[in-house]
Amino acid sequence: MGNLCTCFSRKPVKKRRLATAKRITNHGHQPPPSSLPGSGARWNNRARSSRKDRVEALTQEEAAAAAAAILLRRHQQNGEPASFDRSASLRYPSLGPKKQAPLPRSSSSRARSLTDPLLQPHQLVNQDIKIDDLETDHFVLVHGGGFGAWCWYKTIALLEEGGFKVTAIDLTGSGIHSFDTNGVTSLSQYVKPLTDFLEKLADGQKVILVGHDFGGACISYAMELLPYKISKAIFVAAAMLTDAQSTLDMFAKQAGTNDLMQQSQIFLYANGNDNPPTAIDLDKSMLRDLLFNRSPAKDVALASVSMRPIPFAPVLEKLSLSNKYGIVRRFYIETSEDNAITLELQESMVKADPPERVFLLRGADHSPFFSKPQGLHKILVEISKIS
């Protein structure tokens, strides 16, 4: 390999390594550089050029090191701290107060509706209102028929981000509650997880109850039983019943006008076909049109694998409401695009027993915690601030 081979001739070990490398090259059927015409001169020139580049590189490094040493000595002589700026990509973050993380967004991949804009923390809770100044900062969320605590996941995240305490209840035979739905024989049994929770609250401690769908009848039962534990009650597209009325009575008012509800119901007879039904299931293929006609596909998929049958006996049971129920302040949130409990039916319940205030959530289907989570959250916070 020309003069390069001569340079290594005094070191037998390196010569043997070079020969080995040469043999490996020959296996690739590529002739060594020295076997090509004029290759010796070119290889020699290339080697000298490489050594020259290395010498120049070393000279530049030495010059840079010398310049740094001179700069360091000058700083020390002047009594200044020796500080060298870093690349912007290596800067460390400021040790000041951390910025608040952004609020969780809706899981929808569609463009956000103008009726449910993404709200910032200062928009969710007025800066002049402190959580500690509220009568209570604790929300208790009660799901509707067939749902479970899982349906409130967006609302839970938003409320907790705003500094509120949140508890979502799984009623008997719902959500992850292990009891067989077909075995629920009364409203008191169905609502027991909620009433047990309220009874365990410390003396003087109150909560804001939020009931959705059939959960409206459930929070009404709790309001009659434990009114001193409840600061406010919020009905969200819910059954807000009057004394001696059942949830079935309420639905009977739209019996001839809501064919979708009737078509989607599947009655279950765990005690045999000769006995009354024990539960009501909903046709999975009709869930979107009935309950989630404005909700993201991800949430519809979640509901389709999470919903359970609705116990039938509690739906039949008539409420017994007295002045104790009337002690609790009531609020109603209407949903304008609801196919399960239509807006007309909601308004009829409001007229029958008017609450303190009524809010209309435009563009929301029967499940506003999916279709309008930001808008629902804003109303919940607003109600919590009403004194």
Q: What is the CA radius of gyration of the chain?
A: 37
Q: Helices 373-385 and 153-161, interaxial angle, to 10°? A: 50
**Residue whose structure tokens are 């500690």:** 132
Measured CA distances, 318 to 220, 239, 278, 314, 325 (Å) = 11, 12, 17, 8, 15
Dihedral over Cα of 23, 29, 35, 36: its sign: negative
173 in Cβ contact with 104 (< 8 Å): no
> 279 in helix, strand or coil?
strand
For 90, counting Cβ atoms within 10 Å of its Cβ (0-12 exposed, 13-18 middle, 19+ buried), the class is exposed
Q: What residues act catalytically?
A: 213, 338, 366
Residue by residue, DSSP assigns 314-372 as: HHHPBP---HHHHHSEEEEEEETT-SSS-HHHHHHHHHHS--SEEEEETT--S-HHHHS
